[in-house]
Amino acid sequence: MATLCFQSPTKPISYFHPKSKPSPPLSTKVSLFRCRASLQTLVAVEPEPVFTSVKTFAPATVANLGPGFDFLGCAVDGLGDHVTLRVDPSVRAGEVLISEITGTTTKLTTNPLRNCAGIAAIATMKMLGIRSVGLSLDLHKGLPLGSGLGSSAASAAAAAVAVNEIFGRKLGKGELVLAGLESEAKVSGYHADNIAPAIMGGFVLIRSYEPLDLKPLRFPEDKELFFVLVSPEFEAPTKKMRAALPTEIPMVHHVWNSSQAAALVAAVLEGDAAMLGKALSSDKVVEPTRAPLIPGMEAVKKAALEGGAFGCTISGAGPTAVAVVDAAEKGEEVGERMVEAFMRGGNLKAVACVKKLDKIGARLVSSISR
């Protein structure tokens, strides 16, 4: 199995009881240093390309889902990034050239060693043992940077899937998540709650990081679920928002968040949008430290709940706010209220959209055979 080296940027967290000094039964130090192994080649024989060109898409994602910090996330339909990948004889064998970046931003570097898509593409090539073919990559950004919708993960997922597809789909989704994590670790921190659902689709639980253990959570087909995504004109870089996290939390908050995360998982599996929303709204650890950094966020959450949403929280590191409803029409109404609240409470313009769950994840859109 492929392994990755990383050290989480998050500081160690202490859990303590608010009425006493930390003691062994009530205090837990969480070590966030990981193994120092490197990505391994997983294919015995270097595969040949089966396409000369492929185009892939990877969806936006909502990470954390309130109490599920760094271990719960889901993919949302209709928003995301595209990658076009070509076999290119002018590119040195075993390397990737980023030839063009278009879309919502053009300020990203084309250096593949510092670009989300480039890093993931190189990691996937390493897993496949590609040494004889050079590739050129075009990235079309459908997601803005620092939006809280998994922008870096979408680029990485689309690139990893593109490389895998062009060489005959030799790697599984779990292995592609590892390749995407190589990118996330260098860009925004080692966390899989964006990259896993971006590649796998649906809801995903990260049970363990060492070793990586991913659990898809199936929302029932006969149940309705809509996400109201409201994005203000405000950038919240993931690294900055992670730096704001507390280094200590009361034991009572740890217990509360654990119970809410468990309730959220149960709600997903049962298709209970109301319970899902209630659990999503109940984070007492991360949201309280990040919400004040997003102008108007508290007013937006209040407006969503008063408008009939089952729940509302920050999507990922923000600044996008996400609310949960069970009808598209209700979602439109809630979205209007949230946009107004961003302006009223934070003096920020915002746009709203209502999206369903993306159950597929990153996928091939088109291809040209050799």
- Residue in 56, 61, 124, 238 annotated catalytic: 238
The Cα 152–Cα 116 span in angstroms is 6
Can you tell me the distance from the alpha carbon of 93 to that of 72, in angstroms, rounded to the nearest whole number? 38
**Residue 243 Cα to chain centre, angstroms:** 18
Active-site pick, 95, 165, 175, 184: 184
Q: How many CB atoms lie within 10 A of CB 343?
A: 15
User: Hey, what are 86's tokens?
Assistant: 């070509």
Burial 245-257 (b: 16+ CB within 10 A, else e): beeebbbebbebb
User: DSSP string spanning 243-261?
Assistant: HTS-SEEEHHHHHHHHHHH
Residue type (1 letter), 307: G
Is 41 designated active site? no
184 catalytic? Reply is yes
Burial of 213 (0-12, 13-18, 19+ CB in 10 A): exposed
Q: Cβ atoms within 10 A of the Cβ of 220, count? A: 12
Residues annotated as part of the active site: 184, 238
